Amino acid sequence: MGKLFDKNFFCYIIKFVIFKTLEKVGVLLTFLYRKANAMESSDLKFKEFLRSIFNLSNLRNIPKEVIIDYFKQSVEKVIYGTYDEDAELEFIIDEANNNLSIINHKKLVVEDPKNPSDIVRFIEVPLSIAKTIKEKAKIDDFVSEEIDLDSFSKRDFVKILENFKGLINDFEKNRIINDYQNKIGEVVKARLSQYQKNGILLELVENPKVIAFMPNSAANKKITDSLSPADTIDVCIVSLLQDNKNAQLLVSNVDDKILVKLFYNEIPEVAQGYVEIAYIARIAGLRSKVVVKKSPTAPAYIEEIGSIIGRNAARISAISEQLKGEKIDLVQYSEDKKQLIMNAISPAKVIDIIQTKPTNGSKSAYIVIVPDVQHTLAIGKKGHNVLLASDIVKAKLDIISQSEADEKHIAYNIENGNVTDEDFKILEQGKKLRSNFKSRQKTPIGFDDKNKINLDDFAMEIAEMQSQIKSTNFEEQLLGSNLTDTIDATIEEARENVLDTNNTEDVYKDLEKAIKNNKTDEKDDYEKIAKTKLKDFQQDNDILGDIDLSDINDEDWE
């Protein structure tokens, strides 16, 4: 039988095991690998190697006493399970020097072997050595002796490291479970780590050591397919993965909570609690219907639908863009079930809603009668509109046209719906009904919102002016209270000066003289200005070149 421990071979095993089992430790991996290389040409002992393992306390933020306890358990498992289940082991820790000693208090005294490898030194001691420990020691006695850690075989060493690594991984997994078991349902930021065939691995931004798995069935493909390694997305924590080796959390980015968080981020009235989200029905990446209502604490001026849409639909468009173009329908909340159905089936109009007996015994059922030309609109592309509306009201909705209702002799009352006579006329002409909400309009380039007219203030000013006109004379309000006297005086003066035939010729002569003098004055003023400016004039030869200005006189400019 060969030697139980070969130093060079043991050094090779140390390097191999470190490289394979601790490669995620980073800096520690390099340190341990170099230490193992040094064992080939130095007297480095196994205890020094243990100090390196204890550095995991700092690298992985694990308490030092936990590291020591896990190493003790790893050694005990090898000795108890492989050699002697009755061994009495004592671990002596020298924290000052980061040293560890193991003493077996039940080593069996045996005869001195001819070949040292014939006995197992973990649990046995030769009689000659035993007598140095205990003078009266004899065969089959038990003595206490420190275990030479350098004498571990390669197989023992691998088992110890595997046990140790498993305990460390379990500790970190349990720590994640404790940290995140109360965060299920929360929305967190995650960064792309790796694409897999059945999903995506992500690392949490708040703790990169936590790996989350998002299966394809829980992923919004419009968002995930365009991700780059440095990109982050919002994900909702669905559950913990306690038995998964690659990830600790199960996440999704199609959960309704993702949409709720976007509303809180983009709509101040929602974040302040003035507008509440009552229900959400969603086909992630395609279309959502969000039922909103005003909270009891909201100021009277807040309008829930308008506040969410925002000026030029800026707010709702920002949410839609973050969801890669997902269409978002806003639905006005109502305690009346039929009114809620009308609101949810929008943009289609409703003629009447008739409740019927449910067929499955669990959901209520309704027949929704709509105008013929809006039957397809009410159902929606691939049935999405009616599907989401049904999800909101928690009822089965059967959408039929007015003609179909007439054919089936279903009695209905147009006054129960939200279609007006004007709407019918527009629909009969093949035109579309105007939307309840203004479409988003592009702001012209260079147009400043500050220059927009406040129509409400303008209307109030007009009303005030109209009131003043009714109460006072409008001309007097604008030109002064003595308007009448001024006009009378002017007319009288005109009669005396212009209509007096005796003075008419003099008046015209004076007028002609005044016009002539005015022209003369204008010419004189021009000449004064020209002379003043020409004093400062200097000829620029670089520009004029060979042009002779001497031939130009003032008369040419008249």
Taking residues 326-344, what's their average pLDDT? 94
Q: Does the pLDDT value for residue 550 go beyond 80?
A: no
Burial class (CB in 10 A: 0-12, 13-18, 19+), 458: exposed
pLDDT above 70: residue 386: yes
- Which residues, in sequence order, are CB contacts of 33 under 8 Å at separation 6+? 15, 18, 19
Q: Topology of 255-333 in CATH?
A: GMP Synthetase; Chain A, domain 3 (3.30.300)
Q: Lowest-confidence range among 182-196, 202-216, 486-500?
A: 486-500
pLDDT band of residue 483 (cuts 50, 70, 90) is very low
Name every residue whose Cβ is closer than 8 Å to that of residue 260 and which is 6 or more positions away in sequence: 277, 280
Instruction: Specify the pLDDT at position 473.
Output: 47
* Cα(320)–Cα(187) distance, integer angstroms: 18
Model confidence at 65: pLDDT above 90: no
Looking at 12-21, 318-327, 364-373, 431-440, which range is the least confident one? 431-440
pLDDT score recorded for residue 534: 47
Helices and strands of the chain, counted as H and E runs:
22, 15
How far is 333 from 328, CA to CA, in rounded Å?
Answer: 15
CA distance 49 to 64: 16
Kindly state the percentage of the chain with pLDDT values over 90: 30
Strand pairing report for 187-196 and 232-240: antiparallel
Tell me the three state secondary structure of residue 152.
coil
Listed range (47-61, 117-131, 412-426) with the worst mean pLDDT: 47-61
Specify the pLDDT at position 406.
92
Name the burial class of residue 149, with classes exposed (0-12), middle (13-18) and buried (19+) by CB atoms within 10 angstroms of its CB: middle
CB of 93 closer than 8 Å to CB of 68: yes
What local confidence, expressed as pLDDT, does residue 85 receive? 82
**Which residues 6+ apart lie within 8 Å of 346 measured at CB?**
329, 331, 436
pLDDT-wise least confident of 49-53, 230-234, 331-335, 466-470: 466-470
Confidence of residue 172 (pLDDT cuts 50, 70, 90): confident
Choosing among 3.30.365.10, 3.30.300.20, 2.30.40.10, 3.40.50.300, the CATH entry for 346-432 is: 3.30.300.20
CA atoms within a 13 Å half-sphere pointing along the CA-CB vector of 222: 14
Q: At how many degrees (to 10) do helices 384-393 and 337-344 cross?
A: 150
Report pLDDT for 120: 80
Residue among 285, 308, 287 nearest 298 (CA): 308
In the chain, helix, strand, coil percent, each to 5?
50, 20, 35
Average pLDDT over residues 345-354: 92
- Per the prediction, the chain carries an average pLDDT of 75
DSSP designation for 494: H
Whether residue 188 contacts residue 206, with contact meaning beta carbons closer than 8 Å, is answered with yes
| CB atoms closer than 10 angstroms to residue 14 | 22
CA pair distance 430, 421, nearest whole angstrom: 15
Q: Which pLDDT value is given to residue 474?
A: 41
Residue 239 C-beta-side C-alpha neighbours within 13 Å: 6
Separation CA 344–CA 279 (nearest Å): 11
By the 10 Å C-beta count (0-12 exposed, 13-18 middle, 19+ buried), 263 is classed as buried
For residue 287, name the pLDDT band (cuts at 50, 70, 90): very high
Average pLDDT for 355-368? 81
Model's pTM, two decimal places? 0.56
Whats the size of the chain, residue-wise? 558
Rounded average pLDDT over 504-529: 51
> How sure is the predictor about 367, in pLDDT bands with cuts at 50, 70 and 90?
very high
Looking up tokens 């931004």 gives 205
The pLDDT score that the predictor gives to residue 533 is 47
Q: Is the dihedral of CA 126, 130, 135, 141 positive or negative?
A: negative
Decide: residue 170, CB within 10 A, 0-12 exposed, 13-18 middle, 19+ buried.
Answer: exposed
CA–CA gap between residue 341 and residue 353 (Å, rounded): 8
Cis peptide before 347 (omega within 30 of 0): yes
Return the amino acid letter for 88: E
The mean pLDDT value for 481-492 works out to 51
Using CA atoms, how far apart are residues 285 and 281, in angstroms rounded to an integer? Answer: 12
Q: Over 90: is that where the pLDDT of 214 sits?
A: yes
Instruction: Compute the average pLDDT of residues 482-502.
Output: 51
State residue 81's pLDDT score: 85
pLDDT at 61 over 50: yes
Domain ranges of the chain: 20-163, 185-253, 255-333, 346-432
Q: Do domains 185-253 and 346-432 have the same CATH topology?
A: no
Cα separation, 475 vs 486, whole angstroms: 12
Q: What single letter denotes the amino acid at residue 84? A: D
Q: Is the pLDDT of residue 23 over 60?
A: no
Q: How far apart are CA 269 and CA 256, in angstroms?
A: 19
Distance CA 367, CA 365 (A): 7
Amino acid 358: pLDDT: 76
User: For 291-383, where are the alpha helices, taking DSSP H only?
Assistant: 304-309, 314-322, 337-344, 375-379
Does domain 185-253 bear CATH number 3.40.140.10?
Answer: no
Close Cβ partners of 223 (under 8 Å, ≥ 6 residues apart): 233, 253, 285, 323, 324
Sign of CA dihedral 342, 346, 351, 353: negative
Q: Are 171 and 66 in contact (CB under 8 A)?
A: yes
Question: pLDDT by residue (tens digit) across 216-248?
Answer: 999 988 888 888 887 899 999 999 988 788 888
Position of tokens 């105007």?
A: 434
Residue 6 structure tokens: 């070969």
Using one digit for the tens of pLDDT, what is the confidence trace for 445-482?
444 444 444 555 555 555 555 555 444 444 444 444 45
pLDDT of residue 447: 42
| Higher-scoring residue by pLDDT: 102, 386 | 386
Q: H-helix or E-strand containing 287? A: strand 287-294
* Residues 333/278, Cβ–Cβ less than 8 Å: yes
Q: Which residue has the higher pLDDT, 256 or 1?
A: 256
Cα 500 from Cα 513, distance rounded (Å): 20
Cα distances from 458 to residues 464, 465, 469, in angstroms, run 10, 11, 17
- The Cα–Cα gap between 553 and 558 comes to 10
Token pair 């030109």 in the structure block, residue: 479
